[in-house]
Amino acid sequence: MDWGIQNRLNRLIQKDGRALFLPIDHGYFQGPTRKLEKPGETIKPLIQYADAIMLTRGVLRNCVDPAIPKPIILRVSGGNSVVGEDLSNEGQITSINEILRLNASAVSMSIYVGSKHEHQTLLNFASLVDQCEDYGIPVMAVTAVGRELEKRTARYLALCARIAAELGAQVVKTYYCEENFEKVINGCPVPVVIAGGPKVDTALEVFEFVYDGIQKGAIGVNLGRNVWQHQYPVAMIRAIRGVIHENLNPKEAQQLFEQVKAGKA
């Protein structure tokens, strides 16, 4: 692998081979998402526990201090909205010059396998990889399902993850699935991180799926709403960090969560 790509990946993926990415890019198609109305405020108490943050250039420029000590994963696909006709109708929204200007450590782009705009999003993705390879920038594929969350089966996710890697992704973000998640990992030759999806009912559920995903070979998470939409976001991110970087099991993560929540850790 090219030295520059490897160097940037090393900023994102820690020495233990694991990673905790904190995405706050949701506004690019959802607008002022709950608890992300002021993204700069949302991340202030969380940033120290994340290995990288994922966001668009607009939020980066307007809401984040350039002295931020964490690497940036720049979301560079968009052009759609929750009220538009089809969420899969995305294009590249940020040029390679802008990616370099903003000193991104990586970029991310969604692909919509099986959707109306599958072909367009896959070609966009391949083109982005070509542009980024010229400058040593890693590309993370976001395997998006649009509104159809029920698509998240191992068979479908394995298909998306493998296609993303075949097109040149250095990291793949996919969803977790309870059954046969190892099939997704085994068929994907590059590191996989798990997204959280819409907020689930309990903190323990999050620790359980992160833990299981890691046992089955994911290197970590790119997890947003289940952290910053939670009533205790710092306790959430610290417990998730414990699962990822300190090998806590879900019960131990829950204990850490309770301690942080009570101000005892």
Q: Residue 64 in contact with residue 52, Cβ under 8 Å?
A: no
| Cα angle 88, 89, 90; round to 5 | 95
Q: Which of 59, 64, 142, 177 binds ligand 5RP (CB under 6 A)?
A: 142
What mask, x for binding ligand 5RP by CB under 6 A, covers residues 40 to 79? --------------x-------------------------
Neighbours of 17 (CB within 10 A): 9
Catalytic residues: 173
Q: Are strands 192-195 and 106-111 parallel, antiparallel or unpaired?
A: unpaired
Q: Interface with ligand 5RP includes 224 (CB under 6 A)? A: yes
**211: exposed, middle or buried (Cβ count in 10 Å: 0-12, 13-18, 19+):** buried
Q: Residue 193 in contact with residue 220, Cβ under 8 Å?
A: yes
Give the range of 7-15, 40-48, 181-189, 192-200 binding ligand 5RP by CB under 6 A.
Answer: 192-200
Q: Interface with ligand 5RP includes 138 (CB under 6 A)? A: no
Q: State how far the alpha carbon of 160 is from the alpha carbons of 149, 152, 218, 224, in Å.
A: 14, 10, 15, 21
User: Least separation, in Å, of the C-beta of 61 and ligand 5RP?
Assistant: 18
User: Least separation, in Å, of the C-beta of 11 and ligand 5RP?
Assistant: 18
Secondary structure of residue 111 in the 3-state scheme? strand
Q: Which of 12, 18, 20, 26 binds ligand 5RP (CB under 6 A)?
A: 26
Q: Which of 196, 213, 242, 250 binds ligand 5RP (CB under 6 A)?
A: 196
**Contact footprint for ligand 5RP (CB under 6 A):** 23, 25-26, 54, 142, 195-197, 222-226
